[in-house]
Amino acid sequence: MTDMALVRLLEECLSGHWQSSVTIDNVKQLTGGAASQTTAFDAWAEGTLQPLILRCGDDEHQFENALTKPTEASLLELVYQQGLPVPEVIAHIPASDVSGAGFVMRRLAGEALPKRILTDVRYATARELLAGQCGAVLASLHNIDPRRAAMLESVSVEDDVLRYRERYREFGQCLPVFDLAFRYLLDTPPTPRQAAIVHGDFRNGNILVDEQGLSGVLDWELAHIGNPIEDLGWLCVNSWRFGHVDKAVGGFGDKRALLETYNRGRETDVTERELAYWEVFGVLKWGVICLYQSAIHLQGKQLSVERAVIGRRLSECEADLIRLLKER
């Protein structure tokens, strides 16, 4: 999309939403996001500056169980109303020749790039707090009545494992450790948990951090109804530690701090043993997504250096699965 065409689209949509003249300025495509486009911009309405974000994408090339942008926006509206640290949705943007369907949300303050979160001296205090804060936010999310999220698909653990195994087999890759991991997940089901809203991609890289710690949770496109401990295991996947492998939670904290805050007020505590199942699931899930992302590029459906690079990370998943399964 061209900047001018995008500016005209945003001015038209926001003018109609706010019933006043709107001027768009400082349009900037942000980094990150292989399947969705995130654009920062400023909107001037009645003399007031509104720092905003446009999130849009081509739903045709999303991972098969990813939410459409209108559905993601509806979920964000729900969790925002429940007091979670997420951006407020301002307007829904219909699909057009300029962009795919999307939505405009307020731009939260904070850093999203994992390297800066993990190394910048400004976030030294935040890093000490983040694991516990993540546990508290996930606990709040999982306490929301899932019946309020009728827009989300409900998936059992077994069906989810089988779905990822089917996708893996479609790519025609022979990866013995993947086969072994799928067998492990099916043969040793996890502790049953009451179904909850699962973010599906809660990790370092999809959170915002300021000097006080967690300031926002982003990228809800893989949300669904399921076993809530999936979110905790995903947060501990080695790929999301970005080289800081000694810090099991996002490269910034430990599992003890994560579970301590998550377990407060719960009848049955989540243990590290239970978490281990979901860490295996998370690595395997990421491996299948790596296969998918590279296939989109290699098949010519959407040429993207980022998708190709993600495909190269498949070997990380193999190494992590060998380590995790050896510990079981």
Q: Do 49 and 119 reside in the same domain of the chain? A: no
Residues 277 and 310 grouped into a single domain: yes
DSSP helix/strand/coil, 258: helix
Same domain, 135 and 250: yes
CB 101 within 8 A of CB 207: no
CATH code: domain of residue 282:
3.90.1200.10
Identify whether residues 74 and 126 lie together within a single domain.
no
Using the 3D structure, point to which of 79, 106, 133 is the last residue of a domain.
106
Domain holding 309, by residue range, is 114-327
Same domain, 153 and 97: no
Q: What is the DSSP string of 159-220?
A: HHHHHHHHHHHHTT---HHHHHHHHHHHHSPPPP---EEE-S--STTSEEEETTEEEEE---
Using a 10 angstrom Cβ sphere, with 0-12 exposed, 13-18 middle and 19 or more buried, the burial of residue 236 is buried
The CATH number given to whatever domain includes residue 71 is 3.30.200
- pLDDT value for 22: 95
Residues 101 and 127 in one domain: no
Residues 217 and 310 in one domain: yes
Q: Which of 285, 295, 151, 281 is nearest to 224 (CA)?
A: 151
Each residue's pLDDT, cut to its tens digit, for the chain (328 residues) gives 457 888 999 999 999 889 899 999 999 988 655 567 899 999 998 889 999 999 987 656 566 688 999 999 999 999 999 999 999 999 999 888 777 889 999 999 999 999 999 999 999 999 999 999 999 999 999 999 999 999 999 999 999 999 999 999 999 999 999 999 999 999 999 999 999 999 999 999 999 999 999 999 999 999 999 999 999 999 999 999 999 999 999 999 999 999 999 999 898 999 999 999 999 999 999 999 999 988 887 777 777 888 888 888 999 999 999 999 998 8
One domain, residues 89 and 118: no
Residue with tokens 């999809």: 206
Domain boundary among 81, 106, 131: 106
Max distance between CA atoms of the chain, in angstroms, equals 62
- 273 and 141 fall within a common domain: yes
CA pair distance 221, 171, nearest whole angstrom: 23
93 and 148 part of one domain: no
Is the pTM here over 0.85, yes or no?
Answer: yes
Backbone angles phi, psi at 199, to 5 degrees: -60, -45
pLDDT of res. 34: 53
CB atoms within 10 A of CB 70: 17
Residue 175, phi-psi category: left (phi > 0), alpha (psi -120 to 50), beta (remainder): beta
Last residue of a domain, one of 106, 139, 154: 106
**DSSP class of residue 221?**
T
The Cα–Cα gap between 163 and 322 comes to 22
Q: Identify whether residues 97 and 176 lie together within a single domain.
A: no
Considering its fold, how many domains does the chain have in total? 2
Residue 294: predicted pLDDT = 86
Helices 305-312/272-298 angle, 10° precision: 130
Q: Are 245 and 311 part of one and the same domain? A: yes
